[in-house]
Amino acid sequence: MGFLQLPGLGKVHFHEYGAGPKPMLAFHGYGMTGKQFHVLEQSILPNYHIYGFDHFFHGQSSLEGWTDKQITAGMPREMVRGYMQEWFNIYGEQRISILGYSIGANLALILVEEYPHLIDEVILMAPDGLSVHKIFHFLQFNFLGKSIFSLATKSSWLAPFIVKAAKKVGIIDDSLYQIAYSELDTKSKRLDAYYTVNLIKLLKPDVEKVASLINEYKIKCTLIFGKHDHLFPKSAAMPFIGMLDDAEVHELKLGHWLVIKALDEYLTR
């Protein structure tokens, strides 16, 4: 484990694990930490040395000197370059692989845009960033949505009510509901959720450019989806998949909550 000091951002904490020789930078999903991929002990860990980063407002990573206004305006996507720049400062410039799950896929895809010549492989699991998610877009950019979201951070009942409604209409499944509900039971947790969703709102990859670079540099690309995922399903990613020359695509009988033992067992078959 260690820290990267990212200029203009703050300290990013990372976890190290895996017995393999190949370095892989990994970006987790909401409510987790960089240790999330530790469960992939048979499929990924024997081949890679994982550097799993904690998102801001997760784990031990911390923004430094950012005001509320700056956070809600969003982190400029150019700052994502800092992850690899500072990692290279420590470990030296070298070829790497990238792993991203859910919201973490946004950072993974932007790094593919920025450093395609140094990336051997990208693995995307239930990825955000391949299409516009209407609910997130409403909360991040619509005046009414932003107002409701802000109000929900101050209310002990509104945020849980919204999560329950999302489960009822099928936007999230039961496993995601349990996680989301547990992350909203205090004002501090609700504020972290609000800050997280707003901080990443500008981190939207150029999907056509990413696909073109993956093809040009022959980056191995694996996409994994949950058949019952209503948050980031395979159907939303089909335009991106259609632009790739040689993608490996998997769809498991799971929901959005993919990074579990069942995935590890599936990938080792």
pLDDT by residue (tens digit) across 52-94?
A: 999 999 999 999 999 999 999 999 999 999 999 999 999 999 9
CA 4 vs. chain centroid, Å, equals 18
What is 2-132+204-267's CATH number, 3.40.50.1820, 3.40.50.1220, 3.30.300.30, 1.20.140.10?
Answer: 3.40.50.1820
Picking from 132-136, 157-161, 179-183, 255-259, which range would have the lowest pLDDT averaged per residue? 179-183
**Structural domain boundaries in the chain:** 2-132+204-267
| Contact status, residue 252 vs residue 266, Cβ threshold 8 Å | yes
Which pairing describes strands 96-101 and 62-63: parallel, antiparallel, or unpaired? unpaired
- Any idea of the CA torsion for 64, 66, 67, 71, to the nearest 10 degrees? -130
Query: What are 210-251's pLDDT values in tens digits?
Result: 999 999 999 999 999 999 998 899 999 999 999 999 999 999
CA-CA distance, 2 to 113, in Å (whole number)?
A: 25
pLDDT in tens, 136-156: 777 888 888 888 888 888 777
Q: With 80 as the cut, is the pLDDT of residue 261 above it?
A: yes
Q: Strand pairing of 48-53 and 10-17?
A: antiparallel
Instruction: Find the length of the chain.
Output: 269
- pTM of the full predicted structure? 0.92
